[in-house]
Chain A
């Protein structure tokens, strides 16, 4: 089984609000001086791939489009966790690409890599949360698509996955090749690399390509980001004071006033 995992590097999404800023020129989040991490659910996607490698054997390739200058830690972490090799598309424009253009570029890389049965992505990126890369990639590649996959139930015969759904789970059978987007689940908590793995990861192959290696790529998404605003919360919280019983009493009375009781 050949598995390609798409990894996005983002500014740490749990950074305090005071470290969050929008660059008015690009209308994107300011990245300079902020810690960059692997997008939250991409770690779960990588863990799913590595579990398949552990249980039945698979070759796992980590794939990321990012300016090469900033991407080192992402690739090192992926290789130390257990990916066999990495492919980096060094694109300084990558934070600005539209969703469809990004999916097209990922698809071009995947076709160039050639062999794949499964392509895994995060269910949503931790910064823009568009949830569109996996479905678009599936279209580009002519592959099956299942999003919000919590776990893989079977992969020895037909691929059977469990999709998180509004009412619980859907058990879905999918043909290969398939593009799956992965959500977090008890069963796919990302492993922590051991010191030994960090050392051996240094010897694993990393291929660096440029967008030019992929042929021309027009970005004509038809969507223009006009404005990205940080809403100011007015913060008019009324605190109910006193000991716990008095607070409870005050709240109960307020709920009654508001006709909620």
Chain B
């Protein structure tokens, strides 16, 4: 049945958040296209994860499941082979892939193998006048491009955290097990090891993010930021210069090349507000900027602005928050 195929995977033993976001996007498209939403659920030991049930719970009727030992963390070549096999079975018009570490490698190659059209890093999906229309950022976040995708299948990679996870909409579903022909020894790449960084677990999902930039002057400045973040129950992020200089792990970087976050509160400290940084945080609900330059572009996106030296503002802020929380 031609329709929309979501390429889904698990994380931490359950259906991943970005897979759910894709389901949300697929359902919105389906409301106009009406051709149905199915999923390619790819992984190993999927039975115990409840991922297929979670997909049914969120309105996906048909789940094509590929359960194979080669489908482990970061094995792009295996995911590509599995996704290709499902796509050849399901023959979808539209394929949605999350633009994460694996998806960035899978989506273009899948489009190539299926001789389809390709748009990467989409942030919005829509149907306008019967055509699939997508939006993506361009030129370092300075512009928003609207593209009409005419080729089929349309393979679209979607930037994580740009679509909302959908409300549940349970359907009676079925699971089709697809027997994948993947020979692990024939794959051109192999992940030997996963090195986890001292990373802010769940930076992308944190409700509060406190970020530091070059204006912090060095790794010591981040101690203050970490204390403020801990006080607010949030995670720490950074702009590119601190990550490039090794003051903080690269996985903390927020922006065009780094992560996209949409917390309830984003505090930018010593960050000028270059478009490439703003691209990763502009969707935050409340943005607070602390910067000693009143002309800094960050104040153009902030809701609340504090002009001054962070070293003089943050300590009394931490003290005051402590008091308020103690009450």
Contact = CB atoms under 8 A, between A and B. Distances in A.
A126 B276 CA distance: 10
A223 B119 contact: yes
Contacts of A248: 306, 313-314, 316-317, 319-320
Determine the interface band of chain B, counting residues with CB < 8 A from chain A.
35 or more
A226 interface: yes
B248 to A, nearest CB: 12
Nearest to B117: A222
B120 A252 contact: no
Contacts of B105: 135, 145-147
Nearest to B288: A251
A235 B246 CA distance: 32
Given A17-B142, A138-B109, A228-B143, A165 B74 contact: yes
A194 B128 CA distance: 55
B147 A226 contact: yes
A168 interface: yes
A228 B145 CA distance: 4
Given A150-B250, A237-B300, A223 B149 contact: yes
B218 interface: no
A28 to B, nearest CB: 9
A84 B250 CA distance: 32
Interface string A217-261: 000111111111111010111111000110111011111101011
Given A222-B149, A226-B146, A255-B265, A168 B194 contact: yes
A238 B305 contact: yes
Contacts of A222: 116-117, 149-152, 154
Instruction: Name the residue among B249, B286, B297, B304 with the largest chain A CB count within 10 angstroms.
Output: B304
A169 B101 CA distance: 10
Contact of B147 (A13, A223, A256, A258): A223
Interface in B303-327: 303-309, 312-314, 316-317, 319-321, 324-325
14 contacts: A124-B257, A129-B121, A129-B138, A131-B120, A146-B105, A147-B105, A163-B101, A170-B101, A223-B119, A223-B151, A225-B146, A228-B143, A249-B316, A258-B286
The 7 closest A-B pairs by CB, nearest first: A222-B151, A222-B117, A144-B188, A168-B197, A135-B108, A248-B317, A244-B312
Interface of B: 73-74, 76-77, 99-101, 104-109, 111-113, 116-121, 133, 137-140, 142-152, 154, 188-197, 199, 208, 232, 244-246, 249-251, 256-257, 259, 264-265, 274-276, 286, 288-289, 294, 297, 299-309, 312-314, 316-317, 319-321, 324-325
Given A163-B74, A172-B74, A221-B117, 19 more contacts: A17-B297, A126-B140, A131-B104, A135-B108, A140-B112, A164-B251, A170-B101, A172-B192, A178-B189, A186-B245, A220-B151, A221-B118, A222-B150, A237-B300, A237-B302, A239-B304, A239-B305, A239-B307, A255-B321
